[in-house]
Amino acid sequence: MSIFQSIFWRVQEGRLFQLVPSAKRAPRLRFMYLTAEVFDAINKHRTDSAEIERYAQMEADLGEFVTSRTLDPKYLFC
C-alpha cells in the first residue's frame, strides 16, 4: 500500500484531517494532515483571549507551511 493510499484511508476513517488554510485564495503548495486531536484543538471554541491567540498563531504557522513558496528553517526542527 502506498503512502497516498494510507493517508486516503486515514482521512476516510476520520483519523486524519487535511489542513485548509484560513485564506481561501491562498495557493496550496503542500499538503498537511492533522491528527484528530490537533484538528479538534485548533477548531475548539475558546473564551480565554490568551488561549485564542495561542491557537490562532499555531493555525497561522501551519497554514504558512502549506501556502509558502519557501520554508523557514524552523519547520525542520522541533
Ordered by start, the domain boundaries in the chain are 3-76
What's the rounded Cα separation, in Å, for the pair 69 and 20? 16
Predicted confidence at residue 8, as pLDDT, reads 95
Helix (H, G, I), strand (E, B) or coil at 4: helix
Q: Compute φ and ψ for 33, nearest 5 degrees.
A: -115, 135
pTM of the complete model beyond 0.85: no
What's the rounded Cα separation, in Å, for the pair 44 and 40? 6
What's the rounded Cα separation, in Å, for the pair 51 and 3? 34
What's the rounded Cα separation, in Å, for the pair 70 and 64? 10
pLDDT exceeds 90 at position 48: yes
| % of the chain beyond a pLDDT of 90 | 59
